[in-house]
Amino acid sequence: MASSDLKSAALMDQMKAHFSTDAGKAITKKIGLVYQINIAPKKIGFNEEIYVVDLKKGEVTKGPYEGGKPDATFSFTDADFIKIATGKMNPQFAFMRGAMKVKGSLSAAQKFTPDIFPKPSKM
Amino acid sequence: MAMRELVTGGAACAVPGSSSSSNPLGAFANALIGSSSQKERLQEIPTSTLNTSGNNLYSGAGEPLSALPGAESEQHLQHESKGSEFVSGFHAANDNRLADVWDGIQNPQIPHFPGREGQTTFPLGHPQLQPELNGPPQRVLSSFLHSFVNSSHGGVPFGPTQLPILGLSEGDKRCIRDRSSIMARHFFADKSEDFINGQVNALLSSLEIDNHALARGHISGRHSELEQYWNEPQIMTPGPHTGDGWADEFAQHRVGQGDPNAWALSFERQHGAGGWASEFEHEQAQMTSVGRMAGANIPSLAAMEQTRMLAHTLAQNSNPKFQNSKFLQFVSKMSRGELTIEDNQVKPASGDWANEYQQQYNAGPSSWADQGPDRWADDFAAERAHHGPVDEQWVNEFSKLQVNDWADEFGRQVGEGVLGDDSADNWASAYDEYLNEQAVVKQKSDASRGVYVFSDLNPYVGHPDPLREGQELFRKGLLSEAVLALEAEVLKNPENAEGWRLLGVAHAENDDDQQAIASMMRAQEADPTNLEVLLALGVSHTNELEQQAALKYLYSWLRHHPEYGKIAPPELSDSLYYADVARTFNEAAQMSPEDADVHIVLGVLYNLSREYDKAIESFQTALKLKPRDYSLWNKLGATQANSVQSADAIYAYQRALDLKPNYVRAWANMGISYANQGMYEDSIRYYVRALAMNPKADNAWQYLRISLSCASRNDMMEACDSRNLDVLQKEFPL
């Protein structure tokens, strides 16, 4: 079994692979920022798994960012992250509901939109 | 903090008539005040700066003393700076709650006490109210203030006590006096004015704060304009209060709490930043200690300032849509808090407020936990309750956001148009969406909880044989019609496993996994060992990335298989490990390599573990055995797409669609594959095609929206949001 039970982990894996494609590379060119994403299974702040989506280098890594300060850090629950990445919930809306916490600059956070994530296909 | 109220209290505050008991703000206030009274909890909280040797805050060591208010007031204390240190130390420790409560009720209007004395002989038979009087001064002050707050919960008279010299500065004293006066009126809303004065006087005299000497201190005639400004709001009397109004009122009140900043800001508006700065410095010098007293409140002051700026910026946005948005109304309402500061008279409704508050307090977290586990207020309270270290609290989180706090930054960027014209719009619609969501949230949560949601109007109800009709429609590929007929069937025969199963299949092919899962669960109830149902449940849960549930159903499939059941050890069924299940399935596949089904299940299983190469191999093996299985082609395609082989995926989907032209899921998957390759225009056409066949496919609507935005087709956004398929189909023919 995959190392994480989080739904988001599946998406992060897909994201990782996505960076090898032309579309993935286009995104890194377009955004060029580093996001750290803290994902909690149930409650924000508890048992978080930390991912770094590096849209400069085109990498997804697990664990806190080591190259300095990420441009923005987000905290979500697993389910809410999926909702945001798949466009079910928009990020501003998530922020207002408290479903998303943000640290870092807003201009960086504003570029965090569902279109940077590849969409999972369904069997 | 004000900004957070926008976030948490948003809906309730902006929508009149919403029940106060469901107001997150109420919960919030409740959490603040409630927890401040919970000694046990407080003691669990690690204190960052306190010397922890004095372990019990309420050791009851105090000696009752009678002290007359004002009597010691001449003893102005020497250590101004020291006093501020004490106060800030006490904030840095564990008293943010108190400080918040304190701040929440802070109101710079000066209460005029009649100078009544002799209220100080209240009985003192409540040891739990006795603060600890030994230890470092900040501890003493902290526990003393806590005991004051606690006295409110029992309505117990608060006795004056002699405290060691605390070295409070004038500012500290003024701050404590103002806040305690006002807070007491909220706490003791049901008590007489005399009682309240007595309580406050007892507190103040113990702290050696003179109620009169400081009375006019903080707005002396120096700021006449300010004073004018100041008087304005006090003339405004709050409208009639209902029970429901209290939270709103309280929110405004809280927003208005930051007196020094509010003044400064009001002042700034009148005089511009330059003149303001020097005045403010002056003011600030005097108010430093007040600010320190505010401790945890500083972020909230900052946030309030931002709210105001935000409202100001937003108000200048001439976009009519935005001007009419509830979001703006709400933000400006919030920022007006500073102008609608309430005076501290006890209102008739305050009794209701207090009762309501008390009820909430008694009911504990459950009353607002009802609002759903994902509610942030819930998390917030839990965090506070469990490990309230200052750093972890959102207030501070919020304030830690660099210099460019988001609201600040937001205001600036909207102002400069950096975010584009639509940005403010987006915020406005996001907020409206937030409000709307409250209405539909129940229906949606039903579906996501696995409860089947039936269509409202169903022409097939009353049909003599809806199952047969449904099967026929399904065979013709009219999935949405088939769904209706099959719904009619299961309404008529709720125990018909085949009706539910086919309904589930139709929903899955129609790209609605939530409904598919709900139907399949009913099918499984009716027929617990149906292999097709078990596989379908495994697939749907895999699609929803629900690994454990998926694993459970896939293993059940094996367990109930007439041939492979015997190699599936029953003891596994309780705690499933992926490796065990996969091994067993591989055994099964070796037993009968000609059985396409076992390869299909294996393929799903490898999807679950994201071993896509193996999954693709399994599906390809199965396809050799069952080349006309359109859902199998789709499974292959989806697996390829998820492992970024989008070009191959499109070929597989095409095969599926050749076999079943109305296969909505495959159309939607096509769109996804194009979008993931950055071919957004193409993806739009496929999404629209899928939606034309099933307008209820919510995922496709969401993806369509993303693709429209990526393809810079914002002109079609409205058609998407209003789900106007005619327009979309005309614009994006396939």
pLDDT tens digits for range A65-96 = 998 899 999 999 999 999 999 988 888 888 87
Please list the residues that pair with B679 across neighbouring strands. none
Which residues of B fall within a CB distance of 8 Å from A121?
637-639, 641-642, 649, 669, 672-673
Per the CB < 8 Å rule, is A21 touching B394? Answer: no
Distance between CA atoms of residues B701 and B723, nearest Å:
8
Q: Could you give all domains of chain B from N- to C-terminal order, each with its CATH number?
A: 456-524 (1.25.40.10), 628-733 (1.25.40.10)
Percent of chain B at pLDDT above 90?
32
- Best to test chain B binding among A92, A117, A122 (most B CBs inside 10 Å): A122
User: What percent of chain B stands above pLDDT 70?
Assistant: 41
What mean pLDDT is predicted for residues B299-328? 56
Contacts with B424 from chain A: Cβ below 8 Å: none
Smallest CA–CA distance from B582 into chain A, residue: A1
Beta bridge partners of A36: A52, A73
B547–chain A Cβ distance below 8 A for any pair: yes
Whole-number pLDDT of residue B126: 42
Confidence class of residue B236 from pLDDT cuts 50, 70 and 90? Answer: very low
Other beta carbons within 10 angstroms of residue B239's beta carbon come to 8
Q: Do B511 and A107 touch (CB under 8 A)?
A: no
Q: Which pLDDT value is given to residue A93?
A: 80
Report whether pLDDT(B6) > 90.
Answer: no
- Find, among A24, A78, A101, A95, the residue nearest to B400 by Cα: A101
Q: Which two tokens stand for residue B255?
A: 């927003």
Over the stretch B669-693, which tens digit does the pLDDT of each residue have?
A: 999 999 999 999 999 999 999 999 9
Digit-coded pLDDT (tens) for B621-646: 999 999 999 999 999 999 999 998 98
Task: Kindly state whether B638 is in contact with chain A, defined as any CB-CB distance less than 8 angstroms.
Answer: yes
Q: Model confidence at B155, in pLDDT bands (50, 70, 90)?
A: low
Judged by CB atoms closer than 8 Å, whether chains meet at B639 and A123 is answered as yes
By residue count, chain A amounts to 123
What is the reported pLDDT for A40? 95
pLDDT of residue B179: 67
Helix (H) or strand (E) holding A114: none
Using CA coordinates, name the residue in chain B closest to A115. B706
Confidence of residue B421 (pLDDT cuts 50, 70, 90): very low
Q: Are B97 and B295 in contact (CB under 8 A)?
A: no
**Owner of token pair 């700034």:** B268
CB A28 within 8 A of CB A55: yes
Q: Closest to A23 (Cβ–Cβ): which among B539, B577, B677?
A: B677
Phi, psi of A40 (to 5 degrees): -105, 145
Smallest CA–CA distance, residue A113 to chain B, in Å, is 9
What pLDDT is recorded for position B153?
Answer: 60
Pairing status of strand A34-40 against strand A49-54: antiparallel
Q: How close A98 comes to chain B (CA, Å)?
A: 5
Structure tokens belonging to residue B240: 């009639």
For the stretch B566-607, pLDDT in tens is 888 776 656 678 888 888 899 999 998 899 999 999 999 999
The model's pLDDT over B511-524, given as tens digits with 9 standing for 90+, comes to 998 899 999 999 99
Contact map slice: B 389-448 vs A, CB within 8 A: 392, 394, 397, 400-402, 404, 406, 409-410, 413, 418-419, 423, 426-427, 430-431, 433-434, 437
> Which member of A23, A77, A96 has the closest CB to residue B678?
A23
Q: Measured between CA atoms, how close is A73 to chain B, in angstroms?
A: 10
- Region B65-69: mean pLDDT is 44
pLDDT band per the 50, 70, 90 thresholds, residue B445: low
Contact pairs from chain A to chain B, CB under 8 Å = 160
Number of neighbouring beta carbons within 10 Å of residue B39: 16
Structure confidence at residue B82 (pLDDT): 47
Q: How do A49-54 and A101-104 pair as beta strands?
A: unpaired
Question: Is residue B315 packed enough to be buried (19+ CB in 10 Å), middle (13-18) or exposed (0-12)?
Answer: middle
Q: Which residues of chain A have pLDDT under 70?
A: 1-3
Q: How far apart are CA B230 and CA B103, in angstroms?
A: 18
Integer Cα distance of B536 and B470 in angstroms: 19
Rounded average pLDDT over B650-674: 96
Residues of A in contact with B401 (CB under 8 A): 102-104
- Domain regions of chain A by residue span: 7-110
Residue that wins the pLDDT comparison between B147 and B537: B537
List Cα–Cα distances, B437 to A45, B367, B431, B443, in angstroms: 25, 21, 10, 10
Q: Regarding the domain delimited by A7-110, which CATH topology (the fold level of the hierarchy) does it fall under?
A: Nonspecific Lipid-transfer Protein; Chain A (3.30.1050)
Cα–Cα distance for residue pair B709/B686, rounded to 1 Å: 16
- Helices B547-559 and B531-543 cross at an angle (nearest 10°) of 160
Chain A residue whose CA is closest to B698: A88
B242 — contact with chain A (CB < 8 Å)?
no
- Show the tokens assigned to B680: 């957004």
B717 residue type, one letter: M
Q: Is the pLDDT of residue B396 over 80?
A: no
Q: CA distances (Å), B6 to each of B251, B292, B407, in order? A: 9, 24, 12
Chain B contact set for A92 (CB, 8 A)? 426-427, 430-431
Q: Does B2 touch chain A (CB under 8 A)?
A: no
pLDDT at B649 over 50: yes
The pTM of the full predicted model, rounded to 2 decimals, is 0.55
A27: distance to nearest CA of chain B, Å? 9
pLDDT value of position B3: 43
